[in-house]
């Protein structure tokens, strides 16, 4: 689970870097980053719930 989270965070960082390199408009960058962070938050919430359920 942790490896997947780290991979997701690296993907988000790569997306941010790619947006910078491509000089996309700021609004589009923010929308993509926001969506990526929303997905990461959902995954992390699910992982926390599953861990708590194990205890």
Give the per-residue SS3 of the chain: CHHHHHHHHHHHHHHHHHHHHHCCCHHHHHHHHHHHHHHHHHHHHHHHHHHHHHC
Number of domain units in the chain: 1
Q: What domain range is 45 assigned to?
A: 2-54
pTM: 0.50
What is residue 44's predicted lDDT score, i.e. its pLDDT?
85
Mean pLDDT by 10 residues, the chain (55 residues): 73 76 72 85 84 80
What is residue 24's predicted lDDT score, i.e. its pLDDT?
63
- 43 touches 4 (CB < 8 A): yes
Dist. CA 39–CA 34, nearest whole Å: 9
Can you read off the two tokens belonging to residue 6?
């780290």
């Amino acid at each position: 689970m942790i490896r997947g989270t780290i991979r997701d965070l690296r993907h988000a960082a790569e997306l941010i870097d790619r947006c910078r390199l491509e000089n996309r408009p700021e609004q589009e960058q923010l929308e993509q980053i926001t969506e990526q962070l929303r997905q990461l938050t959902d995954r992390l919430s699910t992982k926390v719930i599953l861990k708590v359920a194990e205890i």
